[in-house]
Structure 1
Amino acid sequence: MKDILEYTSYRQYIADYYADRKAKSAFTWQEFATSAGFTSPVYLKYVSEGRFNLSDAAVERVAASMRLSGYCLEYFREMVGFDHAKTDAAKRDAFNKMLAIADAHKAKIIEGDSFRYFDSWRNPVLRELAPAMPGAKPLALAHACRPKVSAAEVSEALNFLVKANLLSKDEDGNYRQTDKVVTTGPMEVTPVAVRGLHRQMGEIALEAIEGVPQAERHFSGVTLGITRGAYDEIVAEIDACRKKIIEIATRDDETDEVYRLNVQFFPMTNKQELKK
């Protein structure tokens, strides 16, 4: 069974713990549940499947049943907290605590780098900007960023990008991208950071309305009345257009400017009220 620090889902950890014990003995869900103080023989099976949640008291009993202690117990608690959190802020707080525990014990959470990358607008911007300014120091890169950022923040972001293998740095101090495009992939934790990034970029877009000359920006929009079928078709068109834009942007190796493209398509009405 994998080390607990390799997990981001406590439900998957419980399922794998059961499977590991089951493979070595006649271990049953009933035995597992009983050892954790549950009367229902399938309660923990349902927890692992996402049907039930664990209460704070149950977290301690289940952890004790699995003989978790020290940092493993702390990490398990934070995994539960992450899963049960109702807001992105709460999820981000729990996951950052998971990252801190893993870092303290020289372990790497597989989704950790992805989460950190999308957690701040500085990372994707500097990933594009640094290779376009060969030999530039953090202060020069900070001055080149349109949202205000300090040299220390730039240095921290560059160190992370290199450590995460999103940028490479040669002996002359020049950066280059290890891959042309970074995508989120099918992960559990990363979408929390991505939603935060969308909020940050939305705020920067609002500032650009007044702060960027009209000849250097493009804002347009249209309000539509649509059906669900039309929505699905429009989203497919947006996705195809986004892929075409990425193809155009990555065609050249040189960069004159770093741009952000926000594609937003969202409801302006409440469907339930509209039906009334």
Structure 2
Amino acid sequence: MKPITEYKDYRKYMQDFYDERKRTGAFSWREFSKLAGFTSPTYLKLVCEGKSGLSKVKMLQVSKAMGLTGYEEEYFSLLVVLAKATKDADKKATLLKMEKIALEHKVRVVDSETFQYYESWKYPVIRELAPMMPGAQPRKLAEECKEYVSAEEVRDILAFLVKAGFLKKDGEKVFSQTERTVIGSPEALPIAIRAMHKEMGNMAVRAVDRYVQGERFFNGVTLGVNEEAYGRIVDEITACCKRVVSIADEYKNLNQVYRINFQFFPCTNKVKEESNA
């Protein structure tokens, strides 16, 4: 069975614990529940199926039943907290606590680089800009950015991008992009990306008045949809985004970094059909 620090879902860990015990000897959900002090023989089975959950007290009972102590018990409690969290800030804080425990015990489980890369517009922009300006000092890179960033920040960002594998250093202050994309756990990546969407959305608002029409393009339409139309439109936007990237890839003499935001969101609640009867 994998170390607990490789899990992001407490139900999956409990299920794997049960399967491992059953594989190596006689074990049942009744016995598992009894070990944890529950009268219902199927309670923990329902938890693993997502039909029930664990309170703080029950969490400790289950943890002890599985023989978890020390950092393993703490990590399991964080898995339960993560499952219950609804706010991005709470999820991120819990994930980072989990990573700290994992790193302290020589196991990497949550990719904090995902959070760092997406926490500011500066990381993706510098990643695009640096290869366009071979030999440029951090100060010069900073001066070319429309939004403020200091030379010190650019220096730190470049070091991070190289260390994380998003840029490759080909010489003194000469960089090229790697093929690597930003990959994180299914739990971490959506949180990080939502933060980036918010920041880039704010930049787009400022761009409306900051740049003349020849430097920026804004367009939009308000329309009625249903579930099927929504799905088709999302697919079309996704395909369009891929085509845009493909067009940019056709050119080698790139000289500016742009951002495209595709925004498609509800302006009203769903209207319920009224019976004519």
Structure 2 length-normalised TM: 0.88
- Which residue number corresponds to residue 160 of structure 2? 160
User: Between Structure 1 and Structure 2, whose CA radius of gyration is higher?
Assistant: 2
Cα distance in 1 between the residues matched to 2:174 and 2:274: 58
For the pair 1:261 / 2:260, whether they are aligned, the reply is: yes
Cα distance in 2 between the residues matched to 1:16 and 1:93: 26
- 8 Å CA contact 2:96–2:110 kept in 1: the answer is no
- Which residue number corresponds to residue 25 of structure 1? 25
- Which residue number corresponds to residue 187 of structure 1? 186
- Which residue number corresponds to residue 118 of structure 2? 118
Residues 140-185 of structure 1: per-residue CA shift (max 9 Å, x gap): 3333332323344434433333233222223423222111x73668
Cα distance in 2 between the residues matched to 1:96 and 1:187: 14
What letter matches 1:29 in structure 2? W
C-alpha RMSD of the superposition: 2.5
Aligned CA distance change for structure 1 residues 149 and 8 (closer, same or farther; 3 Å): farther
- Which residue number corresponds to residue 100 of structure 1? 100
Aligned CA distance change for structure 1 residues 171 and 54 (closer, same or farther; 3 Å): same
What 5-or-longer segments of structure 2 have no aligned partner?
Answer: none
The count of aligned residue pairs is 275
Residues 213-258 of structure 1: per-residue CA shift (max 9 Å, x gap): 3321111111112333322222222121111111112223443111
- Helix, strand or coil for the counterpart of 1:216? coil
What letter matches 1:165 in structure 2? G
Cα distance in 1 between the residues matched to 2:151 and 2:258: 21
- 8 Å CA contact 1:129–1:258 kept in 2: the answer is yes
Cα distance in 1 between the residues matched to 2:141 and 2:245: 24
For the pair 1:249 / 2:265, whether they are aligned, the reply is: no
- 8 Å CA contact 2:111–2:185 kept in 1: the answer is no
Q: Percent identity?
A: 46
- Aligned-pair distance for 1:275? 6.0
- 8 Å CA contact 1:111–1:187 kept in 2: the answer is no
Cα distance in 1 between the residues matched to 2:22 and 2:213: 65
- Which residue number corresponds to residue 201 of structure 2? 202
- Which residue number corresponds to residue 86 of structure 2? 86
- Aligned-pair distance for 1:85? 0.4
- 8 Å CA contact 1:9–1:79 kept in 2: the answer is yes
